[in-house]
């Protein structure tokens, strides 16, 4: 693939991620994406033969980026409790960036209507988050059965806080909810 093709593909993925975080999978429209990227709609088909292929690529890139962010956070924050408390920041960034929703959360809400390839990528996103949280919790408390349930609860709670804050267009609400989780012991 030449640099121009790679650049076009990356531009399409970036625009599609933004659209999907704002309007979900059904908000991926080749005509709108082509206009934003500055190419013809037919050019998108060169890189992504179908909307399902585009959606799966966007979802895969999203979990890959999230996984890299989580690994970086763990590397840069050696104290597991501090690391755990920094976790909601990953979800907060979407709200700060145009009141968007986490792509994994948005697509999870659309799960029944998604093509199987996208469902698979959405499941990976959840699995990566829960596994990372379980690892961090295991560093704090080496009781694996309790940690797995707590990891799931944290992921669901932080996703829910983001959803509530988005519905109010209020990042401060997200912060208040996360603080209440910390005070209740869910995040430390």
- For residue 134, give the CATH number of its domain: 1.10.357.10
Task: Work out the pLDDT band at 3, boundaries 50, 70, 90.
Answer: low
- Residue 51 inside a domain? The answer is no
Domains contained in the chain, number: 1
- Residue 16 inside a domain? The answer is no
| 94 close to 174: Cβ distance less than 8 angstroms | no
pLDDT of 2 > 60? The answer is no
Among 21-25, 34-38, 145-149, the minimum mean pLDDT is found in 145-149
- Residue 30 inside a domain? The answer is no
- Residue 40 inside a domain? The answer is no
Q: What is the pTM of this model?
A: 0.91
Look up the domain containing 106 and give its range.
56-184
* Interval 169-188: pLDDT, tens: 999 999 999 999 999 999 98
Residue 125 backbone class (left: φ over 0; alpha: ψ -120 to 50; beta: rest): alpha
- Residue 78 inside a domain? The answer is yes
Average confidence (pLDDT) over 76-100: 95
pLDDT at 188: 81
- Residue 174 inside a domain? The answer is yes
pLDDT at 142: 80
pLDDT at 185: 93
Burial per residue of 69-106, b for 16 or more beta-carbon CB atoms within 10 angstroms, e otherwise = ebeebbeebeebeebbbbbbebbbebbeeebbbbbbbb
pLDDT of 147 > 60? The answer is yes
pLDDT of 102 > 80? The answer is yes
pLDDT at 4: 57
Contacting residues for 12 by C-beta, under 8 A, at least 6 apart: 33, 37, 39, 44, 47, 48, 54
- Residue 43 inside a domain? The answer is no
* Percent of residues, the chain, with pLDDT higher than 90: 89
- Residue 6 inside a domain? The answer is no
């Amino acid at each position: 693939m030449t640099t121009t093709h790679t650049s076009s593909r990356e531009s399409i993925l970036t625009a599609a991620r933004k659209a999907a975080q704002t309007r979900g999978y059904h908000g991926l429209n080749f005509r709108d994406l082509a206009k934003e990227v500055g190419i013809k709609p037919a050019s998108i088909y060169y890189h992504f033969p179908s909307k399902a292929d585009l959606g799966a690529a966007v979802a895969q890139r999203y979990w890959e980026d999230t996984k890299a962010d989580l690994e970086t956070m763990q590397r840069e924050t050696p104290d597991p409790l501090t690391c755990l408390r920094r976790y909601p920041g990953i979800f907060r960034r979407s709200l700060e960036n145009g009141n968007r929703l986490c792509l994994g959360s948005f697509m999870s809400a659309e799960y029944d209507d998604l093509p199987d390839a996208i469902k698979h990528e959405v499941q990976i996103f959840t699995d990566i988050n829960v596994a990372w949280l379980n690892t961090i919790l295991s560093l704090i408390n080496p009781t694996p059965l309790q940690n797995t349930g707590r990891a799931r609860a944290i992921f669901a709670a932080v996703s829910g806080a983001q959803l509530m804050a988005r519905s109010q267009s209020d990042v401060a609400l997200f912060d208040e909810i996360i603080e209440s989780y910390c005070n209740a012991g869910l995040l430390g």
